Structure 1
Amino acid sequence: MKTVIMSDIVEALRKVGLQSGDTVMVHASLSQIGYVCGGAQAVIEALIEVVGDEGTIMMPTQSWKNLDPETGVHWDADEADWDKIRENWPAYDKAITPTNTMGAVAEMFRSWPGAIRSDHPARSVAAWGKHAKYLTENHDLSNIFGEGSPIGKLYELGGKVLLIGVDYDKNTSIHLADVRAEYPGKYNCTEHSAVMENGERIWKAYETLFVDGEDFVDIGKAFEAVNDVNKCMLGEAELRLMNQRELVDFAVSWIEKNRK
């Protein structure tokens, strides 16, 4: 397996079309690239080098274990202990709370110097660069993926989406289409998370749109059939760069035609 160094990453990012000044949502699997000299640090430093001081990088830093056991996220705990989890799960702290299955790059990025993490206890993002504060501020509990959320703001800014070794099931921007689309099965649900409020840890209920993303790979295939998605290889991983507005607009139409 060929060793990938930071200059290889920079070259691939530029080849796929990432440019200085871009605002980009990045979803990355470090392990899919192969052996990366410097690991997650090299990937982040390469991204920063390419977008520069006028650019912005955003990544999902979700801590979805901070949800009610009823949702299935604590499958390894006995149901008899669910109340213990509700009473004792640590309150979200954006400086400390680890990501859950977001990958090594996002886990390092959440505490990268200059990065800002949003306040959502289960569905946070982190951002670095020119628009980081704007993208991450006021991430409302109930408005996880809608207008005014981080991915809604990315749409306003004309941002891009970069997939590094992952498929569209990791493409969070499609959730904005979930919010905008009208389809028969659309409904809200009540979620719960541990948060700090007035200096006290509480188990807080909030209503939000129910989404599962199980058709996102199908949406991605259909999108790529009719839209330009730049692709290139980095080690063993495929890079895909796309316009987020094009993706979201397409996904709204696809969902309304195909989702039950």
Structure 2
Amino acid sequence: MAYTKQDLLQALEKLKINPRGTLLVHSSMKSIGEVEGGADTVLDALMIYMKEGLLVLPTHTWSYINAENPKFDVVHSEVCVGILPELFRKRPGVVRSLHPTHSVAAIGQDKEDFIKDNELWHTPCARQSPWGKLLDRNAQIMLLGVDLRRNTFMHGVEEWVDIKGRLTDEMEPLVVINEKGEELSVPSRRHCGDHWSEYFWKVDDYFKEKGVMHLGKFGDATVRICETQGVAALLNDMLAINPHLFSNNEPLEIERYRK
């Protein structure tokens, strides 16, 4: 039996998502199971539920925008992180930020302010970028059928406390093409490889224990709801104790971090 829009709206309510707040969604469409109307119904449910707040989806292009292929087109460059953000960015009223590798798309309250000036910052998740604004807004992050390894906000926290070895020293000469077709030079540092986030799983149980993340269901998908201010505060403490926390795949020595 396929899930309906109403089923999905009820699931969002059960997940204790603030409908007047800010919600960023990382997603796996196939994890949800069969939905009447497919991906469009999922987006409809998210947009209806968050109609009095701000809904944000990552519209990343890091997998193919690079020095050899340097031009990011805010209108035409496709998303490399799934079907839901690719469809979302094309919806009427949705705006997309001007970052060559780590853009976001948004609709709702203060959407223009949220994405503003993303092209001014030369790292993937600068504190003044939308990724930092998630913290300022005490946003929630919905990991829909994906786990902490897909939580870009955690890259941001590492960047803000300047964990060594996470970003290239050199900048790539990337270019952003805005909605007017104007080309903007946006030289950018990059993440050093993509393996650091594969170690984010280590804090899953600790996040739950400390109450900065809770689990639920959305269709067939397991969902993690992260509170950005709680996650950032906890990670700041953990990284102060051990800057190499996510530098290896060793299990978390949890007693080292408990207060």
The interval holding the TM-score normalised by the smaller chain is 0.7 to 0.9
Give 1:248 deviation, angstroms.
Answer: 1.6
For 2:55, the equivalent position in structure 1 comes to: 57
Q: 1:207 is paired with a residue of what secondary structure?
A: coil
Give matches, 1:37-116, under 5 Å: 37-52=36-51, 54-64=52-62, 65-68=64-67, 86=68, 89=69, 91-100=71-80, 102-116=81-95
Most deviating of 9-18 and 198-207: 198-207
Distance in 1, matches of 2:56 and 2:99, equals 15
Could you say if the C-alpha distance between residues 55 and 204 of structure 1 is closer, same or farther in structure 2, counting changes exceeding 3 Å?
closer
| Preserved contact between residue 63 and residue 99 of structure 1 (Cα < 8 Å) | yes
Fraction of identical pairs, as percent: 26
For 1:258, the equivalent position in structure 2 comes to: 242
- Deviation per CA, 1:101-138: give whole Å up to 9, x if none: x1111111111111110001111111110021111110
Distance in 1, matches of 2:224 and 2:200, equals 15
**TM-score, normalisation: structure 1:** 0.82
Q: Which amino acid aligns with 1:125?
A: V
CA RMSD between the two structures: 2.5
Distance in 2, matches of 1:62 and 1:187, equals 17
Correspondence 1:245 to 2:229: yes
Which structure 2 segments of 5+ residues have no match? 245-259
Distance in 2, matches of 1:189 and 1:228, equals 32
- Deviation per CA, 1:64-103: give whole Å up to 9, x if none: 11024xxxxxxxxxxxxxxxxx2xx372111111001x11
For 1:138, the equivalent position in structure 2 comes to: 117
Could you say if the C-alpha distance between residues 184 and 144 of structure 1 is closer, same or farther in structure 2, counting changes exceeding 3 Å?
closer
Q: Which amino acid aligns with 1:154?
A: L
Q: 2:128 is paired with a residue of what secondary structure?
A: coil
Q: Which amino acid aligns with 2:8?
A: I
**TM-score, normalisation: structure 2:** 0.82
Give 1:216 deviation, angstroms.
Answer: 1.5
Q: 1:189 is paired with a residue of what secondary structure?
A: coil
Correspondence 1:155 to 2:135: yes
Could you say if the C-alpha distance between residues 122 and 3 of structure 1 is closer, same or farther in structure 2, counting changes exceeding 3 Å?
same
Which structure 1 segments of 5+ residues have no match? 69-85
Most deviating of 23-32 and 187-196: 187-196
Correspondence 1:175 to 2:175: no
Q: Which amino acid aligns with 2:27?
A: A
Correspondence 1:213 to 2:193: no
Q: Which amino acid aligns with 2:197?
A: G
